């Protein structure tokens, strides 16, 4: 394709990513991508999906090559040494120890004595470093996600490689590193690298980490992470769902986590523990959401009717339970102000819109 204007540029020492206007300028006169563009996007998406979900051992030679190039492109001295760990848990511990060292030699000596298994690394971290919040925060800012940058770098890969858009600096090298390895940390004089996972489980659509009976992702150092429908959850939500309490569900950070935890513990148990009683209930006709909301990205809804219930628990807290109308028929719990007396009023308070703005309402 014809080479377009540069939209990833360097301004002094700050790398700036394209604005919406700049991306649009790369495709003048087009309100949408062409069929050819969309076909290319599909190929790029498939490529980076494979990269993100890869469980092969890291290509260490390739990763180190492009980390060196990346350092040079940013004006850093190339790493004197690469430290490889078998997962992000032991990698994080190595990073924290290295950050507290005065030089590379001292860091290597300290890292040499660290545990190589996640279980032991977590115990050491909790006992020695848990109170050092600033170090942990610095580690979070400096971590590079390697293969898990896939969704992010796929967009720029398409613009750079398929559309011929030029770029300055380091972005191309992040793509190459993503192709080669997993998590890693940039440090002066060294880089700490992590091998890829050995195990990943996904939702039926193959796009989200999900496993309701065990870890969704596992690493060579024994580190395991638990996800359901793409949401990270505590291990106990998967391994011991009967121990989940209503209080824990209600304190969950968002509606998606509350839904998952309620499903795991069981709706009957949740309602029984909550001492919930019905305040109001109705049904709603669901129509084609895309026809009504053409400019909003929404789930594809089934045509038909869904039930919605306004309830109050033993503490006087009110909440709505309603299906989302998708093929998965997922049920969400949404807390509402105590003054709400009907489902319609509660849903309006949640969304700021009346039912008529979205659907045809029938009680």
**pLDDT tens per residue, range 126-168:** 766 554 444 444 444 467 888 888 777 777 777 666 666 655 4
Confidence of residue 25 (pLDDT cuts 50, 70, 90): low
Contacts of 232 (CB under 8 A, 6+ apart): 225, 226
328 or 210, higher pLDDT: 210
Average pLDDT over residues 27-38: 63
How far, CA to CA in Å, does 315 sit from each of 100, 174, 267, 333, 353? Answer: 48, 51, 18, 16, 28
**In a 10 Å sphere around its CB, with 0-12 CB exposed, 13-18 middle and 19+ buried, how is residue 21 labelled?**
exposed
28 or 83, higher pLDDT: 83
31 or 100, higher pLDDT: 100
110, 83 contact by CB (below 8 A): no
80, 104 contact by CB (below 8 A): yes
Residue 332 has pLDDT above 90, yes or no: no
Q: What is the pLDDT of residue 194?
A: 94
Q: What is the pLDDT of residue 138?
A: 44
266, 246 contact by CB (below 8 A): no
Q: What is the enclosing helix (H) or strand (E) of 75?
A: none
264, 234 contact by CB (below 8 A): no
Q: What is the pLDDT of residue 59?
A: 96
**What's the rounded Cα separation, in Å, for the pair 226 and 239?**
9
Residue 233 has pLDDT above 80, yes or no: yes
CA 355 to centroid of chain Cα atoms = 31
Q: Where exactly are the structural domains of the chain? A: 1-196, 275-362
Confidence of residue 83 (pLDDT cuts 50, 70, 90): very high
Confidence of residue 307 (pLDDT cuts 50, 70, 90): confident
Confidence of residue 31 (pLDDT cuts 50, 70, 90): low
Average pLDDT over residues 326-343: 80
Other CB atoms within 10 Å distance of the CB of residue 352: 8
Residue 255 has pLDDT above 60, yes or no: yes
Confidence of residue 19 (pLDDT cuts 50, 70, 90): low
Helices (H), 9-146: 20-25, 35-52, 60-73, 88-99, 104-112, 118-128, 133-142
Confidence of residue 299 (pLDDT cuts 50, 70, 90): very low
Q: What is the pLDDT of residue 311?
A: 87
**What's the rounded Cα separation, in Å, for the pair 331 and 23?**
38
Percent residues over pLDDT 70 in the chain: 72
Among 266, 275, 211, CA closest to 244:
266
**What's the rounded Cα separation, in Å, for the pair 289 and 359?**
8
Residue 85 has pLDDT above 50, yes or no: yes
11 or 285, higher pLDDT: 285
**In a 10 Å sphere around its CB, with 0-12 CB exposed, 13-18 middle and 19+ buried, how is residue 321 labelled?**
buried
Per the prediction, the chain carries an average pLDDT of: 77
Contacts of 361 (CB under 8 A, 6+ apart): 282, 284, 285, 344, 355
Residue 302 has pLDDT above 50, yes or no: no
Among 180, 175, 145, CA closest to 160:
175
Contacts of 321 (CB under 8 A, 6+ apart): 267, 308, 309, 311, 331, 332, 333, 334
């Amino acid at each position: 394709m014809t080479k377009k204007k540069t939209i990833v540029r360097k301004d002094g020492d700050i790398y700036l990513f394209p604005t919406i206007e700049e991306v649009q300028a790369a495709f003048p006169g087009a309100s949408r991508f062409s069929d050819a563009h969309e076909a290319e996007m599909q190929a790029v998406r498939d490529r980076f999906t494979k990269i993100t979900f890869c469980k092969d051992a890291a290509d260490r030679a390739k990763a180190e090559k492009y980390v060196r190039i990346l350092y040079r492109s940013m004006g850093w001295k190339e790493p004197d040494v690469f430290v490889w760990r078998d997962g992000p848990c032991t990698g994080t511990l190595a990073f924290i120890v290295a950050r507290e060292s005065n030089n590379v030699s001292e860091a290597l000596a300290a890292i040499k004595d660290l545990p190589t298994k996640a279980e032991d690394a977590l115990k050491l971290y909790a006992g020695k470093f848990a109170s050092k919040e600033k170090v942990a925060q610095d580690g979070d800012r400096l971590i590079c996600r390697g293969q898990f940058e896939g969704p992010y770098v796929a967009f720029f890969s398409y613009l750079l490689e398929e559309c011929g858009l030029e770029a300055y600096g380091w972005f191309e090298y992040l793509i190459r590193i993503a192709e080669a390895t997993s998590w890693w940390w940039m440090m002066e004089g060294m880089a700490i690298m992590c091998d890829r996972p050995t195990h990943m489980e996904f939702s039926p659509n193959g796009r989200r980490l999900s496993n309701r009976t065990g870890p969704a992702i596992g690493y060579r150092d024994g580190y395991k992470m638990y996800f359901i429908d793409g949401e990270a959850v505590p291990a106990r939500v998967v391994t011991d769902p009967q121990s989940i309490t209503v209080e824990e569900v209600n304190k969950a950070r968002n509606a998606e986590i509350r839904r998952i935890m309620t499903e795991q513990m069981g709706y009957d148990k949740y309602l029984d523990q909550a001492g919930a009683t019905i305040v109001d209930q109705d049904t709603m006709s669901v129509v084609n959401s895309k026809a009504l909301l053409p400019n909003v990205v929404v789930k594809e809804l089934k045509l038909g009717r869904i039930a919605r219930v306004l309830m109050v628990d033993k503490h006087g807290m009110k909440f709505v339970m309603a299906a989302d109308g998708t093929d998965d028929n997922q049920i969400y719990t949404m807390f509402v102000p105590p003054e709400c007396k009907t489902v319609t009023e509660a849903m309006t308070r949640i969304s700021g819109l009346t039912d008529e703005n979205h659907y045809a309402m029938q009680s």
